[in-house]
Amino acid sequence: MTGRRSLVVLVGILAGLVTASPPASAEWVTDVYLGAAITQKEDVAIQIEGLRASEKVDFDTSFTLGARVAYWFESAPWLGLALDASFYNPDADLTVFPVSALLMLRWPLLTSVEFPKGRLQPYAGIGPGVFVSTTKVDLRPELPAEFSDTSIDLGLDARAGLAWLFAKNTAVFVEYRFTHVSPHFEDRPADLKTTVDVDLNTHHMLVGISFRF
């Protein structure tokens, strides 16, 4: 538990950098997005009272929804920080909520007087995330019980996208995002100590709208 608390504190510090009061000339961005989350097939390891087995599992392609707040430095308009929160369901019995602190980079293209930071903006971001994964599985009829737990883990969040400003303060964007996390679940269904471990490697295909301030 101490390690998990430390990870939460780490992301809290990074989030503080994003939300610190900027100079009046700084650029703030609020993004909302949706799309598909495609989680790769992986081995799921299950251990029940010392007996261990693993099985390759095909995860579902799921709907994903999220929002992001970013701050771009006026002195270095190609550099920014962001805080991102989202959710997706790689399985009907599994929901993942990532909250990520990101270092952001962008390249201003098609600059003009109206769009000094570029009307077309390729961008990328990477950083750590706290992933809150919850599962609840009905084990009947094999066991007269259900398995449920919440796992809080540090994971990776990386992305790249392209934003197009169709108005001075409004843009649309498309984005590819990759997330990795390895949750560990533990419960005692029917008083049998049971653990489940899995790697979740997920490809997100996203579209969204962006508001600049």
26-53 confidence digits (pLDDT tens): 799 999 999 999 999 999 999 988 899 8
Lowest mean pLDDT among 17-21, 26-30, 74-78, 143-147: 17-21
Whether residue 10 is predicted with pLDDT greater than 70 in this model: the reply is no
Whether residue 23 is predicted with pLDDT greater than 70 in this model: the reply is no
Mean residue pLDDT across the chain: 90
Instruction: Give the pLDDT of residue 184.
Output: 97
Q: How confident is the model at residue 13 (pLDDT cuts 50, 70, 90)?
A: low
Residues 6+ apart with CB under 8 A from 9: none
For residues 155 and 8, give the distance between their C-alpha atoms in angstroms, rounded to a whole number: 12
Domains of the chain (ranges, CATH numbers): 2-212 (2.40.160.20)
CB burial string 92-112: b at 16+ within 10 A, e below:
eebbbbbbbbbebebebeeee
Lowest mean pLDDT among 49-53, 161-165, 195-199, 205-209: 49-53
Q: Model's pTM, two decimal places?
A: 0.86
Rg of the chain (C-alpha set): 20
What 3-state DSSP class applies to 18? helix
Q: How confident is the model at residue 141 (pLDDT cuts 50, 70, 90)?
A: confident
Q: Any bridge partners for residue 209, and if so which?
A: 32, 172
Averaged pLDDT, 103-119? 96
- Tracing tokens 């098609």 back to the chain, one arrives at 110
Cα–Cα separations (whole angstroms), residue 183 to 11, 66, 94, 141: 18, 20, 11, 26
Q: How confident is the model at residue 84 (pLDDT cuts 50, 70, 90)?
A: very high
Q: How confident is the model at residue 2 (pLDDT cuts 50, 70, 90)?
A: very low
What's at 110, amino acid-wise? L
Lowest mean pLDDT among 12-21, 47-56, 178-187: 12-21
Q: Any bridge partners for residue 81, and if so which?
A: 71, 103
